[in-house]
Every structure is written in structure tokens, then in C-alpha cells.
Amino acid sequence: MPQTCLLSLPAPAKINLFLHILGRRSDGYHDLQTVFQFLLYGDQLDFYEDESLRLTCNLPEFENEDNLILRAARKIKAVTGITTGIHIHLNKNLPSGAGLGGGSSDAATTLLGLNRLWKINLSIEELSQMGAELGADVPVFIRGQAAWAEGIGERLTPIEHLDCPWYVVLTPPVHVVTSSIFQSPQLTRDTPAITLAAFHAGRVRNDCEPVVCSRYPEVKSALDWLSARGQARMTGTGACVFLACATENEAVMCLQQAPYPGFVARSCNRSPAMEALEAWIR
């Protein structure tokens, strides 16, 4: 008899609407400024009863012990002393090394889902602190609100009234290793800090674009192609590039003509994972 799914939650993609690198810190990390916004597109996590902790996936290469989903589940069990098992099935749609936050979003959805399923009742702040130990981007997915981010990305200020256009997102078939981009001697590390007003005025860029484009011709090609059609930008450290469109139809038509695969999605300022959790009644 098929198992009954206890809870099904989205793990949405994010995009960085800009990314400025202000400097390198003594601990090797970088001070930055960015704005995170969510997309109504991403992975899906289904939770099932199980005696042990296990992960399955529609793409078997993600079924490894170092997957952030398992690391998140082990962490919440260790912190709380919960001994219950769980089977998590990941329906993976987001490519790795794409700048869309797929692994971080999966980890956040795992923490949020298990906190609710197991009735642990940890606060969002407690979950965010736990998530930060898994990855710098995890807290933004746990807090679930579009945000202005500073520091290494951990200082988050919610933004409620960002425009929510349709985006065409191109996914060049390359995996960009974030650490290698931040270690590059070619990376600009002296961008002056800006204000939210400067962001709204459009005086922003992604400082990682020149480094990524010099190393990955496919990213440069995709960005050049989209830039001929509007103000295109790379998200995070890549490899995905995106362009805001006036309508869904315009985005679909752009994708149909594009030289690389991708997807079309509406942006949103509140995570669909939070919306799904609020709607779930056990």
C-alpha cells in the first residue's frame, strides 16, 4: 500500500536583484549588500512516516548523506533530542550551482516542515540561527520575506512592497562553485555601500558577473542574449540569468526564442513555503 504523505511543501527559488561586494573580512568572508526575492517556482519536499531518517529524490545523484536536507534533519533532531524517523522525498527542479538557492531552500523547508510535523515549536529566530549554521542563505528562506541583506547575508531587513514581475530565467548548463568566485583575485571588493533608495533608483549591479562570465562562456552568452532584450542580470554567483517581463506571455515568448533552457516564473515577496505551512491543517 502506498505511503500517505504527511506534509508536502515547496522549496522556492530565490533571485538576487543585485549583489555588491563591499570588502573582504578578516575571517575570509565578504561583506555584501543584496536584495532577495522569491519565485513561484522551485523544488518540492514530501514528508512520510519512517522508522529511520532517509532521503529519496527524483534525481538519484542528490540522494547522498551530505545533502543539506539530511544535514538539516540531523541538526534539528540533535538540538531537540527528537528520535522520530522521517522519509523525505525531494522532487528536484532547481539546478545546482545556479544562484537560485536550491540547496539552501531545501534545508529551510526541511527545518520548517519538521518543526511543524514534530510539534517542536521552535521560533523563526531559533530556526534561522540553526539554518545559518548550514548556509548563509538558509535564514532568508526560513524567515520567508523578501529582504535587504547585509553583512555576509545574515543581516536581513524585510521588504514588503517590491514589484513582483514575471521573470524569464535562463539556466546555462554549468555549475558555478560559489567559493571559487569569492576567492578570485579578479573579484571587485570595494563597492561603496548604498541605501535602499539607490537600489530603487536602479543604481545597482552584480559584482560577480565579470568573474563568472570570464570563466563560463555559457553564462556570458546567456547574459548577452538577454541583455539585448532588457536589463538582464545574473543571480548570486550564477549561473542563472534573469530578465523582468511585463507579462507572462512576454516571458514565455522570450524563453521560446532563447538559446538556453530555462523557466518562466512570477516573483513574490512572501515565500510560498510559508503560505503552504499556514494553509496546512493536520
- Report the catalytic residues: 14, 137
Q: Which helix (H) or strand (E) segment is 178 a member of?
A: helix 178-182
How crowded is residue 3: how many other Cβ atoms within 10 Å of its Cβ?
A: 11
List of E strands, the chain: 7-24, 30-48, 53-57, 86-91, 147-150, 155-158, 166-170, 233-234, 241-245, 262-268
- State the Cα–Cα distance between residues 67 and 110, nearest whole angstrom: 11
Cell numbers for 175: 555549475
Q: Which residues of 77-89 are buried (b: 16+ CB within 10 A; e: fewer)?
A: beebeeeeebbbb
- Please check whether residue 116 is in contact with residue 241, taking contact to mean a CB–CB distance below 8 angstroms: no
Cell numbers for 52: 529511520
- Please check whether residue 89 is in contact with residue 45, taking contact to mean a CB–CB distance below 8 angstroms: yes
Cell numbers for 274: 510559508
